[in-house]
Structure 1
Amino acid sequence: MKNQTIKLELKNGLEARPAALFVQIASKYESHITVVVNEKQVNAKSIMGMMSLGTIKGEKIEIIAEGEDENEAVAALIQFLTQQEVSE
């Protein structure tokens, strides 16, 4: 199991479009991935779950991955969450 906590840097937080892109990235990996924000846990591969977090810039997010590609999954998701803007 691999877990890491980071501060969300996306300018508009995880609103609809960034949340959808996050889910697309998470879905590329075989590992089971969970996102924890303020003690609320959701499946990182669920768009409804991710949008229900209502995460804003500056909030702490914990990413927990378990599986063969857990290190790669966590690294890719952290890279996405720590950028300032969502690129096209």
Structure 2
Amino acid sequence: MASKIISYRRDIITYKKFLKSELLRLTFNDGKFIIDKDNLNNKRGIYLYLPNFKVGKLIRAKSRISKAFKITLSEEQILKIEKEIEEWMKDKKL
């Protein structure tokens, strides 16, 4: 009997591995950051572990995010991403 494959991904902030189902995927498409709820977007993406997510932590991972998306990001862009994630979390009541 074949074993089930369990997918792990790294959180961009803590760089720890978590189950893919526990993470939120953020993609960059046509100059915009999109929260990929269903992991259906085939663009480059990063993963965030939401229970550890706090405002201001994405700025620490600015270089990792820039490297993952192969673009240079300003602090204003990072803060905008954080705001979008916070609004999404409020809508989902997480």
TM range (shorter): 0.3 to 0.5
Q: Which has the higher helix share?
A: 2
Please give the TM-score of this superposition, normalised by the length of structure 1. Answer: 0.32
Question: Whose Rg is larger?
Answer: 2
Determine which structure has greater relative contact order: mean sequence separation of CA pairs < 8 Å that are 6+ residues apart, divided by chain length. Answer: 1
TM-score (norm 2): 0.31
